[in-house]
Amino acid sequence: MRKTLIVIGAGLESIPVLQRANEMGLHVVAVDANPQAPGFAYAHEPLIGCVYTPEITVAALTKWSQKGGKPQGVICAAVDAPGTVAAVADHFGLTAVSVETARLATDKKAMKDRFKERGIPIPWYREIFSAEELACIQDERRETLVIKAVDSRGARGVLRLVYGSADMPDPAWSFACAKKESPTGRVMVEKHLAGPQISTEGFVVNGESFCPGFSDRNYEFLDRFAPNIIENGGDLPSFLDQDTQQAVKDLSGQAAKALGIKNSMFKGDMVVHEGKPYVIEMAARLSGGYFCSHEIPWNTGVDFTGTAIRLALGETPSPTELTPSFQKGVAQRYLFPKPGKVQAIEGVEDAQSMDGISMVEIRTAVGETISPATSHPARAGVVMARAETREEAIKQVEKAVAAIKIITA
């Protein structure tokens, strides 16, 4: 009999996961709050529920199951919703992260407390309750800090406070900016760890970790978007030497296990600071931004999304399926038009026809307003290139980005 998979999230970036589930012959039930969610077109059964409110989604699925629905797996796609996945899995007795793991993975303070307890290298951090406390810490520590909401996502309200900088934002403004992004009004600061940043993505299978996903993150616009920290895509394979890469992969697996991830996937924000790997954050879900669905398979041959779905269905993939079989070049960049009203969008077809360009996705339209880039969802489009080498992919993606003009006024 066809197995049924519940997919939490049916937005634009959820589509590749929904498509993969279809290709695998599964019966797909997608959950999203938006009745117009584009991913619903790829589901056998669209269901209205809130991806970030487990009780609402469990209630919607309970009704669905009373009419005869019976799931074999649950996964979230391009939404940071392990809490909802865990609650649904609990309710139906499915394989997924536990409610406790989901809590640790979505509360940056609780996560760092767990890492500290388990000896996982992390930046210095502290929860703070006022702008005055931030000012005191800045005076005391005299180093670059990052202030963030304890429980937000997509880099919303994450600010780099550069020690000694002339345009350092005021503590009251910084604190308010982070606080407003936290649903619970909680804020924390961390030491900013300088050094190459890496996105990792992997699996824990029967206690063993595999980390096929490894991308250098591009932060060329740190100054342009300061004090916000906005990523501009990434490059694969990594420029880091093999030993450093292995150390980052091993630490990612340890961190995932420290959060209690078992027979499921993980996604790490890692940094190599003064030659040593540290964890900035570890998520208990699939990545968004087409990392798991496009970049990792193009780079390594690993069917990351398919494997994650199989784990969610309670299957056990073999180590060879979790291990890269090659290292090809992939580069991703985002589009950052000047803020204003979009007058025209040009050069898209030119960009699409360039060698190696495998995706051009424009996320705006004439007449829409481009706001200043203060979070990742604000990016106006994405371009991806594939080539034999990393260098060639970077050259091609940059050429395509330069050809696309989103004219604003």
Ligand X SMILES: Nc1ncnc2c1ncn2[C@@H]1O[C@H](COP(=O)(O)OP(=O)(O)OP(=O)(O)O)[C@@H](O)[C@H]1O
Q: Which residues bind Mg ion (CB under 5 A)?
A: 269, 281
Q: Which of 229, 256, 292, 322 binds ligand X (CB under 6 A)?
A: 229
Q: What are the tokens at 7?
A: 């997919």
293 binds ligand X (CB under 6 A): no
Q: Is 251 in the site for ligand X (CB under 6 A)?
A: no
- Which one of ligand X, Mg ion, none interacts with residue 90, CB within 5 to 8 A by kind? none
- Nearest residue by C-beta to Mg ion? 281
Q: Which is nearer to ligand X, 108 or 114 (CB)?
A: 108
**Least Å distance between CB 73 and Mg ion?**
25
From CA 295, how far away is CA 362, in angstroms rounded? 18
For Mg ion, the closer of residues 186 and 328 by Cβ is: 186
Q: How far apart are CA 280 and CA 217, in angstroms?
A: 13
Site pattern 66..105 for ligand X (x: CB under 6 A) = ----------------------------------------
Q: Contact at 8 Å (CB) between 159 and 179?
A: no
Q: How far apart are CA 236 and CA 234, in angstroms?
A: 7
By the rule CB under 6 A, 376 interacts with ligand X: yes
Residue 104 host element (H or E): helix 99-106
User: Quick check: 397 and 385 in contact, CB under 8 A?
Assistant: yes
Kindly state whether residue 228 participates in binding ligand X, applying the rule CB under 6 A.
Answer: no
Beta bridge partners of 362: 381
| String marking each residue 188-207 x if it binds ligand X according to CB under 6 A | --x-xx---x----------
398 interacts with ligand X by CB under 6 A: no
Residue type, 255: A
Q: Do β-strands 27-32 and 45-48 pair in parallel, antiparallel, or remain unpaired?
A: parallel
Q: How far is the CB of 281 from Mg ion (least distance, A)?
A: 4
For ligand X, the closer of residues 21 and 211 by Cβ is 211
Q: Is 51 left (phi over 0), alpha (psi -120 to 50) or beta?
A: alpha
The C-alpha torsion from 286 through 146 and 181 to 409, rounded to 10°, is -90
Site for ligand X in 150-169 (CB under 6 A): 152-156, 158
